[in-house]
Amino acid sequence: MVLKMISFTLNGKQMTYQGDASKPLLWYVREDLNLTGSKFGCGMALCGACTVHMNGQPVRSCSMPMSAIDGANITTIEGLQSKTGLAVQNAWEQLDVVQCGYCQSGQIMSATALLSSNSNPTDNDINAAMQGNLCRCATYHRIRAAIHLAAKELAQEA
Ligand code: FES
Ligand code: FES
């Protein structure tokens, strides 16, 4: 059987993959690359713990087959070095958002994607953008505050 070569960029590096094209991206990053910041929660695109960026958009890597990332630009939490991504991570630290931490890389990836497209989101914008990222520790209030803080700090830097 001839397996198609899948080429993509991951955290700024050009990568190729030749293997089971139905393998979820989450298992590729966690098991093949040992990038374990993206978490397995539900495995059904329902909780957001596995969120990464594909061409700047938040996607659920547990439900994204390798075949779908051919030619794409993928960023995981380990490679989140954009100005917006760093501002979000800094705000998370300043407000001590994290409780158990399990959902938080997914939260940060979704928050960064939101601020990349909307530099001054309202609470409603935040609720809408973040509704697919569940937190069983209920850190939602601090997440919202940290997104506002990151937006403010990015505006001051601009
Ligand atoms: S593990 Fe991917 S959305 Fe829950
Ligand atoms: S911090 Fe524990 S699940 Fe979100």
* pLDDT per position as a tens digit, 115-134: 999 999 999 999 999 999 99
* pLDDT per position as a tens digit, 56-110: 999 999 999 999 999 999 999 999 999 999 999 999 999 999 999 999 999 999 9
- The answer to whether position 116 is within a domain reads yes
List residues near ligand 1 (CB under 6 A). 40-43, 45-50, 60, 62
Q: Residue 15: beta bridge partners? A: 8
Do 58 and 107 sit in the same domain of this protein?
no
Predicted pLDDT at 3: 73
* Best probe residue, ligand 1, of 46, 102, 110, 134 (max atoms within 8 Å of C-beta): 46
Do 68 and 25 sit in the same domain of this protein?
yes
- The answer to whether position 1 is within a domain reads no
* pTM, entire model: 0.96
- Domain boundary (28, 46, 79) is at 79
Do 106 and 67 sit in the same domain of this protein?
no
Q: Residue 104: beta bridge partners? A: none
Closest atom of ligand 1 relative to the 61 alpha carbon: 2
Q: How many domains, in total, are found in the chain?
A: 2
Domain membership of residue 132 as a residue range: 83-157
Ligand 2 centre distance from Cα of residue 114 (Å): 20
- The answer to whether position 153 is within a domain reads yes
- Domain boundary (31, 49, 79) is at 79
